Structure 1
Amino acid sequence: MYTNLTKYPGLGFRHHIHGNRLHHCLILQATYALVRRAGRWVLEPLEEQPALSMTDLFRPVMAAAGSGKPGSDARALAQASSLQRESELLPFKSHADVLINGDAIAPDGLAAANWLAGVRIGGWSKLLKVSGPRNWERDRHGKWRLSAPEAAERVPLLYEHAYGGTVASAQAGEVEACDENPCGIGYLGQITPESSEAVLPVPAIEYPDDATPAEPGRIQRVAGFGAIPMHWQPRARRLGTVDIDAIRRDGPAYPDDFDPAYWQTAPADQWLPYLARGQEVELFNLVEGEPKVAFALPRWLGFAAVRSGGSNRYPDMRVDTLAIDTLARTVRLNWRLAVADEVDRPDWIGMELAIPEVLYPDGEPVPPEPQPETQSGRWRAAMARDQGEERGA
């Protein structure tokens, strides 16, 4: 029923969303190399396209098991770590997620105590402050002081270096975790550190306007650019009120108070309107040797062909994920569309990515947003061309 007319990874599946109504959910993905050509940064499609991620991939746990004393690091005991790659098996996103994986690089490659790193897309931007290693240290009178940060050339942008964490409780074998980020540092919950705990690490990633507390145990905002797992509180609270009895009686269904923002994987301050073709992106202190990197998103059109009862319509697929890996220097885009079964009753659905210069070969102006009623002929021709090439292959 679902046909991917592109050479890029794609998937169609059925899912009950929006009031538990059946929808046909479509996903296309393209991954590009971020390269410099003639003094400009451009995106070039990878020859070997990575497959869609069908499950969450977590990083190895970074912390030792801890001593078991109240307040000691218990992230390993709880197997708490951050996402390396989020699953793309999501039916719908109401906004575009912007995700960044990589390191914050000190300006000019020179080690610094702290600096800003971030991203700008159009009128939206986000900057975070990163710092070299520092600690809360207890003096001989039992008072805490915040040490000066050591100079660093880079700071990995991982939630393991942001506020949060999991600590051993007073009860043997039990742990307390920060619901917002169980794999971070600085969180103590209801724990009072023992007098023997004279040094505790300080989060290295913070919001620029947030002052670092002078002593441990104070709540801070979790700062990061990466994907959030669905069981962490920022997403889990959007799942709503799960009625186990109703599930046992009626089968799986989303709760009445389910919030579709549950499917957004980025932090809430990284949700944007669906991204436009050719939109400019700027990275600051995120690419080694390049204090600023600016590039434009591809101008590709993503759309579907929905065939029902002998007629076709051509709804847009929206770019709802921009994932930038500054270490690998790759950029991943995902297009999505959810088609209501009760509206279209489709017999067949095709997915296509098209370059405007192919759809508009005679230099016609490309409209800023696709208008299906005026473009359906061009799209139908493009699809017929691709299907013909597939049959001839």
Structure 2
Amino acid sequence: MLVDGVAAVSPLPGADAGVVAFRTGGVLHATVITKATFAFAPDAPMSRVDPQPILREEVHHGDNPARSVRFTSDLVPYLARADVLFTGHGYAPPGEPKERVTTRIVVRAGERVLLDKSLLLKDTRGFQKMPIVYERAFGGPDVPDNPLGIGAGIDEGEPTVVSPEGARRPAGFGPIARAWPLRKRLLGATPRSTLEGRIAEIPPRFDGSYFQAAPPDQRIDFLRGDEHLLLEGLHPSLPRLATRLPGARGVARLFGLSAFGIPEGQPMQLCTDTLRIDGDEQRCTVVCRRWIQLPHEEALDALRVVAGVEVAGEPAAWFEPQRRAAGPPSSGKPAHAPASTLALPPEVEHAAPPGPALPFRTSPPSTRGSEFAAPPRLPLPPPSALFASNAAAETTAAPEVQPPAFAAASQEQAAPARMLDLLWFDARSLPRIRKQPAWRKILEALADEPLDPDIDDPDLGLEPAEVEERREIFEVMAHGEPLGEQAILSALRSAVRKDGRFVAPLVLVEGELVMAFDDIEALRALVAVVGPLAGGDERSKEAVAAARAYLGAADPLRDRAAARELAAAIEAAFAQAKKRSAAPAEVASRVERILLENRCYERRAVLGARHLRASLRLPCADREVPVYVPEALAEVLPMFTRFSVRMVAEAHLPAEERDGHPVALRAVGITRVGRGEGAGSVAR
């Protein structure tokens, strides 16, 4: 299963690329693979560096096949889920050798945690640095999950890389070798050699989880490319490193298919299914792939591909690949990699014999996969949606779906992973926004772009100046780089002049906005729901009566702490009632609905005006940041208690004594961030 002799593939600048072929059930497929590498950037998006080349085979530590695997082969036909892999060392705080260090990897997509895994490193002699390899974890020759480990035999040393779930469990962040029993048994009766020829022959019911190299608890949904990473105890100088991917996505264009009515340069969006974190090199590599169905091997020979990894704000530099004369077929034996810092194999040859080709279908960009306990089969789409019959695949006839439909399907599949909906902005802040150096560059680039009436004037009634204002703030929201918690604090400190004068700086942030409800109104809603449900339960009725007396008092000033105590008493009494007509969870849901429908948000008179009080959950941050939104937006905000946003805000000193954060944000522009899967993923 090699790149050589399969198809001509050319990488875009800043990426490497390849193509592998496989056949299952008599149907031929080609998988486009591309990858890019990014350097760590504390509290900021990573920056692109020279890509790790396509890896033809496993790369072992020390280039020694008897040791554990450092990097897996990229020549994989498909993955049902994304592999997250880490190789490197764990570190005690600089200058403070420790006997025990907890290491942790967190991957977040917005507010959603995709992976949160910890390992304990320990050594009674104390250490400053320890390699996290399977040779130091529990295992041994008779342990299928880790045949290279220690501790399972008699008179062996104790493991120094330990799982929090138990000392006698294999533990690690790195890849599982394909020769280990844990993966090898998934081959079943299939000889491994059939998967390694020029065209891999995969039985129809082959267990596809064989291709997953990550430990089962490190397999996640396919990546969007802008995930936030948190590494604890895994960096030599930073005990806690927060960074994020820079909006990377795999893209490709297909060539050589015009004889079948498929236009040259047909676009295809790839699935990001591998995140390879190299702690020693302080960089991440993303691998993207996607397969297409072909009618026969002549089509495979004709296929030409340009592929790479786009980054937000850096459009791909597309080009048409050159044809090359046909050469001899590949031997099917991978070249051996010379020893180097990364022990990487030589670069892949990016050409192959030309000829006619036809991609019948592309694989679906699935976002979910099976758990390890129920391994995925080959993720082929159903025939009615994406598959031609085997009989059709053996002919040179035109595709079952005509070119326009094929193009439309590809465009639909290539839709952005998220949606940005501009809810509101304060035009009075635009002069300051235009002066920000980073945002000024974005706006200068916008000046050369034509107007898009659907986006720039959705109501078809704005004045020209209003259209331009909306256009500018939306551009900053969409393409500006959001700041993490530490970067916000740094901006706050930088805004203090030498003589102590302070002007609140503008910052762009992204996270989950959590709305706060008014305590008095929350109690009123709870009484409205529980009152009719209390029935014959005396405790519930007494608690409701006490709350009604409190709410009906003539004194306009009410203690909010008392309101919270009365609400807690009602909830406790109702939860303990022997007979009730609704579950406590249903009561909470109904109360929340009343509060949302009536916009009973907590309000504060701060920063010179009336505001709604909320909080912002930043990715990889331990505490929420207070946020103040103009009161007039109560009916503009979506009816969710929490939802993802991008927000331009003024970073102020704390506005309330109770705030537990050194910053208070006052919103001057809010964009809602949604996901393509539907409203359920937009907010919750």
> What TM-score, normalized by structure 1, do the two folds share?
0.68
**Structure 1 position 231 matched with structure 2 position 196:** no
Instruction: Tell me the matched-pair count.
Output: 302
Once the 2 structures are TM-superposed, how far is the Cα of residue 349 of structure 1 from its aligned partner? Answer: 3.5
1:278-357 to structure 2, matched below 5 A, reads 278-307=226-255, 308=257, 309-312=260-263, 313-342=266-295, 347-357=303-313
- Could you report, residue by residue, the CA deviation over 1:176-212 in whole angstroms, capped at 9, with x for unpaired residues? x432222111122xxxx4xxxxx530011121121x3
Tell me, which stretches of 5 or more residues in structure 2 are unaligned?
Answer: 1-6, 317-366, 368-407, 417-684
Query: Which residue of structure 1 lines up, in the alignment, with residue 160 of structure 2?
Result: 204
Distance (whole Å) between structure 2 residues aligned to residue 89 and residue 106 of structure 1: 36
Report the secondary structure of 1:30's partner residue.
strand
Cα RMSD over matched residues?
3.4
Decide which of 25, 35, 44 is 2:47's aligned counterpart.
44
Please tell me the residue identity of whatever aligns with 1:127: S
* Structure whose alpha-carbon radius of gyration is higher: 2
Once the 2 structures are TM-superposed, how far is the Cα of residue 84 of structure 1 from its aligned partner? Answer: 2.3
Distance (whole Å) between structure 2 residues aligned to residue 376 and residue 25 of structure 1: 17
Please tell me the residue identity of whatever aligns with 1:311: I
Please tell me the residue identity of whatever aligns with 1:186: G
Decide which of 13, 23, 34 is 2:20's aligned counterpart.
13
Distance (whole Å) between structure 1 residues aligned to residue 268 and residue 410 of structure 2: 7
Once the 2 structures are TM-superposed, how far is the Cα of residue 339 of structure 1 from its aligned partner? Answer: 0.9
Once the 2 structures are TM-superposed, how far is the Cα of residue 329 of structure 1 from its aligned partner? Answer: 0.8
By relative contact order (CA 8 Å, sep 6+), the higher-ranking structure is 1
Once the 2 structures are TM-superposed, how far is the Cα of residue 31 of structure 1 from its aligned partner? Answer: 1.4
Query: Which residue of structure 2 lines up, in the alignment, with residue 157 of structure 1?
Result: 132
Once the 2 structures are TM-superposed, how far is the Cα of residue 80 of structure 1 from its aligned partner? Answer: 3.4
Query: Which residue of structure 1 lines up, in the alignment, with residue 213 of structure 2?
Result: 265
C-alpha contact 2:86 2:276 (8 A) present in aligned 1: yes
C-alpha contact 1:80 1:182 (8 A) present in aligned 2: no
Once the 2 structures are TM-superposed, how far is the Cα of residue 275 of structure 1 from its aligned partner? Answer: 0.7
Once the 2 structures are TM-superposed, how far is the Cα of residue 376 of structure 1 from its aligned partner? Answer: 7.7
- Could you report, residue by residue, the CA deviation over 1:282-320 in whole angstroms, capped at 9, with x for unpaired residues? 111100121111111121332222354232443321111
Distance (whole Å) between structure 2 residues aligned to residue 359 and residue 49 of structure 1: 17
Query: Which residue of structure 1 lines up, in the alignment, with residue 146 of structure 2?
Result: 181
Greater strand proportion: 1
Please tell me the residue identity of whatever aligns with 2:411: E
Distance (whole Å) between structure 2 residues aligned to residue 103 and residue 375 of structure 1: 39
Query: Which residue of structure 2 lines up, in the alignment, with residue 373 of structure 1?
Result: 411
Tell me, which stretches of 5 or more residues in structure 1 are unaligned?
Answer: 63-78, 133-148, 167-176, 194-198, 213-219, 361-368, 379-393
Gap change, CA 1:286 and 1:252, over 3 Å in 2: closer
C-alpha contact 1:319 1:335 (8 A) present in aligned 2: yes
**Structure 1 position 22 matched with structure 2 position 20:** no
Report the secondary structure of 2:28's partner residue.
strand
Decide which of 3, 24, 39 is 1:33's aligned counterpart.
39
Once the 2 structures are TM-superposed, how far is the Cα of residue 255 of structure 1 from its aligned partner? Answer: 4.3
Distance (whole Å) between structure 1 residues aligned to residue 414 and residue 215 of structure 2: 36
C-alpha contact 2:61 2:68 (8 A) present in aligned 1: yes
Greater helix proportion: 2
Q: Using the aligned pairs only, state the percent identity.
A: 24
Distance (whole Å) between structure 1 residues aligned to residue 28 and residue 138 of structure 2: 40
Distance (whole Å) between structure 2 residues aligned to residue 223 and residue 377 of structure 1: 38
Report the secondary structure of 2:182's partner residue.
helix
